[in-house]
Structure 1
């Protein structure tokens, strides 16, 4: 794999082309309007979330220098705060106190019938083990413009398909081999600010080669295992992703304790590896994996 990324932007990609050209070579790719034909792309909105799951209590995650801070609110109240902030018509927006980010929430805990709204997306983009159950493994993201997720890699070293429903996000990507330039901490996070690097504190980052890509509504972004990514919401955004394994990446993940992976992460990888290598169905093992979808790491 190249030491730096070149991100293809393609209009059409079959599952077979995706696997052969990108998954096997661990190359990121942006599939323009890759799920435009799904009902989710056109039906899901702030109003839809308010109607379908407004009473659900959610956990919001905010980052500061001390780490991640959590708060608990109703989804409808959170959606209201997003709309007020984006409209700029109350004191919250005027003072630029941005609402926190709703991050890594099980998609089907918010939209129980999500699979029906996504049935037009080919299951073949995922290994056969996931089958039609793949939406159960998805996580939802919702937040205001200006939300930022610092530079990190996905904690299970999974493949990642990221679906942008509403708004735009800017991803800054680097290959895992450049982690050494990014001042890693706490297993998967990086201390360097890729948007405004302090070269006095982080001089090695001068050798890094970050690449930016803007993900538009309807786009699907593939990131291979270990891909470092920093994410900024350019608009109020709704999106979801699926962290998924092949047989090979699941096995590598199950053995990654030797590289410092936390044992809780190793457990989740072991569940998937066991299923893929023994043939035990995803629906049977999902209850043992589900807590990952709420995992704060």
Structure 2
């Protein structure tokens, strides 16, 4: 914020954006004036800026758009209310059939855990840290490092990429205990898919649900206990196939989007480890589901479903998006990143 020579704070464009946003959200002008004066802005200047904003045709146009968006919010609130007509939960189904999966979960955007479909994966018997080190230890892989020093480590994932021997990474996991400081994630896929191509021979197509001929054949996740993937939503439907270790997953239905503090792109500011209701009061009214994903289970994550994932053990997951049915939702995703 810019200061004038007398020591008073001057209203700059950052303040003007703040004024406009809060007026559009329905804040009383006097309350905004009080905040500005409390921040060191001269009362007369604060009132002039507020008067100018309230009479601006730009603000009038933005308010009209806000009223249109309120109708969209009403539609979402209808779905939120309908969701509360029954106890929403993450169901578990053994070897869920294709038609039922599509009819009850894929086409309706409901999460579900499927058991029994990974029983014939060689990975379920072969994969562990010793196997990785022995078979692929010399492969050069990419890993996310330094996550503990950056609260926005997912948004800034490119800055955290490091390359190392897979065997060295596996040894680091084995000796780490609980930590979120390093993690091999889908953000490292472009390099790791080539470096660890042999691992894919230990997987089998989930032909009941997926297109085996699709080039989108999976993303590899491997990390110690304590890894955290913060609340976000994906732009496609996803499968999370858990090979070893357990993961705790929190899920929020897409209709709750107005209350999850979506501050940038597909991310939320809310920390799922300990939701701060004082800082994020709207979360008190949000429907949050919880499940534990065990080895040999698949979690279906619907497009737009907010989710937070915590590694309870050293764990390995393969995620995939190559479903038999239309899974293209990115073409009409809004291009802006900041909300």
SS of the residue corresponding to residue 185 of structure 2 reads strand
Report the alpha carbon displacement of residue 201 of structure 1 after superposing the two structures with TM.
1.5
> Counterpart of 1:92?
none
1:155-186 alpha-carbon deviations (Å, 9 max, x no partner): xx111010000100000001111122111122
Structure 1 residue aligned with 2:151, among 30, 46, 65? 65
For the residues of structure 2 that align with 1:247 and 1:75, how far apart are their CA atoms?
A: 35
Question: Does the alignment pair 1:186 with 2:271?
Answer: no
Unaligned stretches of 5+ residues in structure 2: 1-78
The question of whether the paired residues in 2 share the 8 Å contact of 1:150 and 1:193 is answered with: yes
1:122 aligns with 2:201: no
1:239 maps onto 2:321 in alignment:
no
Q: Secondary structure at the match of 1:65?
A: coil
CA contact (8 A) 1:36 1:219 kept: no
Alignment of 1:205 with 2:304, yes or no, is: no
- Give the whole-Å Cα distance in 2 for the aligned partners of 1:66 and 1:118: 33
- Contact 1:138/1:242 (<8 A) preserved: yes
Match of residue 85, structure 1, among 176, 190, 199: 176
Partner residue, 1:260: 335
Between the two structures, name the one with larger relative contact order (CA 8 Å, sep ≥ 6). Answer: 1
Could you tell me how far apart the structure 2 residues matched to 1:65 and 1:85 are? 20
1:145–1:235 contact (8 Å) kept in structure 2: yes
TM-score, length-scaled by structure 2? 0.65
The answer to whether the Cα contact below 8 Å between 1:85 and 1:99 also exists between their aligned partners in 2 is: no
Residues 249-296 of structure 1, C-alpha deviation per residue, up to 9 Å, x if partnerless? 41x42122xx2366xxxxxxxxxxxxxxxxxxxxxxxxxxxxxxxxxx
Is 1:131–2:216 an aligned residue pair? Answer: no
- Matched length: 243
Distance 1:246 1:13, change over 3 A: closer
Change over 3 Å in CA distance of 1:149–1:202 after alignment to 2: same
> Is there any run of 5+ residues in structure 1 with no aligned partner, and where?
87-95, 263-297
Question: 2-side partners of 1:15 and 1:66: how far apart?
Answer: 38
Alignment of 1:1-297 (within 5 A): 3=83, 5-61=88-144, 62=147, 64-67=150-153, 68=156, 69-86=160-177, 99-104=181-186, 105-106=188-189, 108-119=193-204, 121-126=205-210, 130-133=211-214, 136-154=216-234, 157-244=235-322, 248-250=326-328, 252-256=329-333, 259-260=334-335
Asked if the contact 1:85–1:98 (Cα under 8 Å) also holds between the matched residues in 2, the reply is no
TM-score (norm 1): 0.74
Counterpart contact for 1:50–1:75, Cα < 8 Å: yes
Residues 80-119 of structure 1: CA distance to partner in whole angstroms, max 9, x if unpaired?
0111124xxxxxxxxx666511111436424324443222
- Cα distance per residue 1:166-220 (max 9 Å; x no partner): 1000000011111221111220110011231222221111111111110000000
SS of residue paired to 1:149: strand
SS across alignment from 1:125:
coil
Instruction: Report what 1:291 is aligned to.
Output: none
Superposed displacement of residue 230, structure 1:
0.2
Name the CA distance, whole Å, in 2 between partners of 1:98 and 1:26: 30
Name whichever structure is richer in strand by fraction: 1
Distance 1:195 1:46 in 2: 27
Provide the rounded CA distance (Å) in 1 between the counterparts of 2:91 and 2:253.
15
| Cα distance change, pair 8–110 in 1 and its aligned pair in 2 (3 A) | farther
Q: Are the aligned partners of 2:179 and 2:225 in contact in 1 as well (CA < 8 Å)?
A: no
